Homo-oligomer: A and B are copies of this chain.
Amino acid sequence: MNDAEVQILTEREPGEVGLVRWEDFHSRTPFTFDCGESIPEFTLRYETYGRLNRTRDNAILICHALSGDHHCAGVHSLNDRKPGWWNNFIGPGKAVDTNRYFVICSNCIGGCQGSTGPSSTDPRSGEPYNLRFPMLTIRDMVRTQHRLVRDHLDLPRLFAVIGGSMGGMQVLQWAIEYPEYVHKIIPLATTGRQNAQSIAFDEVGRFAIMRDSEWKNGDYDPGAGPNVGLAVARMMAHITYLSDQGLEEKFGRSRKAGPGRTFFEPEFNVESYLRHQGASFINRFDANTYLYFTKALNRFDLYAPDGSLEDSMRQIRAGALVVGFTSDWLFPPAQNRDLVHALLRCGKTASYAELGMTLGHDSFLVHAPDLYRLISTFLAS
């Protein structure tokens, strides 16, 4: 097979980014959070896929959601059971085409997958930050990412910033904070501010964590912690990421087969599924990060006191494709539409796509050729 044939094959059949490895960006300059507190240095763990072009203007930043991380495509070893969380979107010939774009994703500040967060050691005390970690905002996430892409990776600008849910909030904040730096944005399944119901669910999760006797005011030992509270928070939140219809199609009232169950142990398959979600989450996520991230989500608010979005949207220069999902009841379509309407009222270039997918909020993560096409076309346009 000659090079031309390889090229044709790659363009026709989406490929995999394959083996990837993360890198760490150590920022040695103090960072001052929106709350006014500072930390002397921080680390952002990140991954990149594809190649930067000579003009250094083909970079796309992916922003992750609450439970995500920097590992959004490829595998870390050939034995990995699961690839990165957006592997279906990112790769050679995929919606975010690594043959064309240089793709970056970093674990957010405050996170627990290698970036500096509550579980990291405060170099000033030699102790973990835990609740001494400064209160965090979406804007803090964006400003630390900016150091990574501008100062460390030396990118003159970002071709695009893409993300869903909490990632979508970062996308919006990027376009507001660094209007000249961002060419295109694709916020998915997101909002300019959460409604009371979403805040309420997050509060129940935080309550479950903080009232778990193992939480110890945030000073639990590494490896220990409020596992029950964190599992409860995750199980509940996971229901809100899906939908009535999605759960019905996947599980309905189907029951577990096999040996007799004990009294109140899982009987319906949806119960076992949720327990599995809870159990696997506590193995990979830090409870304090969960508190900080949900609080950042709840406080994010692009609206002016009079209920208008225009003051925030006016400064945006990037072209926007906002994507909502009909079955998303956590960040409902109306909240996504609101963003586009405000952008249009400000004379910006913005499109809205509402996809009729049944899986709820998590629709932005699943196999969706319509969505792939929307994204690749918008990026290429």
Contact = CB atoms under 8 A, between A and B. Distances in A.
Given A193-B253, A204-B232, A204-B274, A199 B268 contact: yes
B268 A236 contact: no
Contact of A247 (B196, B207, B248, B275): B196
A206 interface: yes
B197 A247 contact: yes
A274 B200 contact: yes
A268 B200 CA distance: 9
Contacts of A193: 253
A357 to B, nearest CB: 17
B200 A247 contact: yes
A22 interface: no
A252 interface: yes
A98 interface: no
B298 A268 contact: yes
Contacts of A201: 236, 239
Interface string A235-262: 1100100111001101111000000000
B232 A196 contact: no
A210 B213 CA distance: 15
B248 A196 contact: yes
Given A206-B264, A210-B264, 10 more contacts: A195-B248, A203-B274, A203-B275, A204-B274, A207-B235, A208-B228, A211-B228, A264-B295, A267-B298, A329-B329
Interface of A: 131, 135, 193-197, 199-201, 203-204, 206-208, 210-213, 228, 231-232, 235-236, 239, 242-244, 247-248, 250-253, 263-264, 266-268, 270-271, 274-275, 278, 291, 295, 298, 301, 329, 332
